[in-house]
């Protein structure tokens, strides 16, 4: 990548991280190779304070910072009856002076207009602040998996829980069944160990009922591809 930059074939070099964000961001700075870092950053991350500190370190070191996963999977619930306040989540992220831009998902013009309207005023209103706590009021854990991988050591069957949770997020949060199926193809779902476990031993940092979610999302493997669009 450095060779491409010296030859003028690229102006900037960057990396993206969905997990272990603080460590990866700091490593990017210390490498003295990267110009930009794109990181998952949202109000739902249990370790968001550490991510914030790492982002500040990167910005102070001269790196550009791009935030992704800003809407934390879009919905609070599986049935998609309770959407997460998109404007509030984007304001929360861009309110951090060390974040230079964000890449929220946009699939319609009204979403684009809503995102652009945020730039008029980044101040979170009392109503928007309250909306970010709606999950607690509804007793919903949300759909966003931070991919911390703490669950892996807890599962006696060594099942790939993080990938399954990401597939679940794509299916129910983003409504993208094709991406959910594509993600799940990397996991051996022939025999789901969760079905034989009477009590799941995994304590998820996001509060997920891991066993229930895995059994649920496993069904997508049997759906014909033509129905995934």
pLDDT, tens only, 197-216? 888 889 999 999 999 999 99
Q: Is residue 185 part of a domain?
A: yes
Q: Are residues 84 and 161 in the same domain?
A: no
Total number of domains in the chain: 2
Q: What is the CA radius of gyration of the chain?
A: 19
Pairing of strands 64-68, 101-102: parallel
Q: Up-side HSE of residue 96: CA atoms within 13 Å toward CB?
A: 27
Residue 150's SS3 state is coil
- Is residue 21 in some structural domain? yes
- Domain match, 102 and 161 both: no
Q: CA distances (Å), 10 to each of 2, 25, 144, in order?
A: 9, 21, 33
Name the band, by pLDDT with cuts 50, 70 and 90, for residue 85: very high
pLDDT in the model for residue 145: 93
pLDDT score for 226? 60
What percent of the chain is modeled with pLDDT above 70?
A: 97
Q: Which residue, of 110, 138, 166, is where some domain finishes?
A: 138
Question: Does residue 102 belong to any structural domain of this protein?
Answer: yes
Structure tokens given for 42: 């949202």
Question: Is 211 part of a structural domain of the chain?
Answer: yes
Per the structure, the complete domain to which residue 39 belongs is given by 10-138
pTM of the model: 0.87
Calpha distance 170→165 (Å, rounded): 9
Q: Is the pLDDT of residue 10 over 70?
A: yes
Considering the domain boundaries, does residue 20 fall inside one? Answer: yes
Indicate if 17 and 98 belong to the same structural domain.
yes
Express each pLDDT in 41-82 by its tens digit: 999 999 999 999 999 999 999 999 999 999 999 999 999 999
In a domain, 25, yes or no: yes
Domain contains 4? no
Please tell me whether residues 156 and 213 are part of one structural domain. Answer: yes
203 forms beta bridges with none
DSSP H/E element including 68: strand 64-68
Residue 2 located in a structural domain: no
Residue 189: per-residue pLDDT: 72
pLDDT of 142 above 90: yes
Distances (CA, A) of 70 to 9, 44, 59, 101, 108: 31, 9, 18, 11, 17
Q: What is the CATH number of the domain that holds 16?
A: 3.20.20.100
Q: How many Cβ atoms are within 10 Å of 187's Cβ, its own excluded?
A: 20
pLDDT-based confidence at residue 26 (cuts at 50, 70, 90): very high
């Amino acid at each position: 990548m450095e060779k491409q930059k010296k030859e003028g074939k690229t102006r900037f070099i960057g990396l993206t991280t969905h997990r272990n964000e603080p460590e990866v961001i700091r490593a990017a700075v210390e490498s003295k190779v990267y110009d930009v870092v794109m990181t998952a950053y949202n109000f739902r991350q249990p370790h968001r304070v550490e991510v914030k500190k790492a982002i500040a370190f990167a910005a102070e070191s001269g790196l550009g910072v791009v935030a992704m996963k800003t809407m934390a999977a879009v919905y609070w619930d599986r049935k998609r009856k309770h959407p997460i306040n998109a404007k509030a989540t984007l304001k929360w992220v861009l309110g951090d002076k060390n974040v230079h831009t964000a890449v929220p998902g946009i699939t319609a013009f009204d979403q684009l207009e809503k995102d652009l309207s945020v730039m008029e005023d980044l101040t979170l209103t009392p109503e928007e602040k309250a909306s970010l706590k709606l999950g607690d009021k509804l007793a919903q854990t949300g759909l966003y998996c931070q991919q911390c991988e703490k669950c892996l050591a807890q599962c006696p069957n060594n099942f790939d829980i993080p990938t399954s949770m990401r597939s679940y997020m794509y299916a129910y949060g983003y409504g993208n069944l094709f991406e959910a199926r594509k993600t799940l193809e990397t996991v051996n779902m022939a025999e789901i160990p969760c079905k034989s476990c009477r009590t799941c031993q995994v304590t998820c940092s996001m509060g997920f009922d891991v066993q229930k979610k895995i059994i649920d999302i496993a069904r997508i493997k049997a759906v014909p591809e033509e129905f995934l669009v």
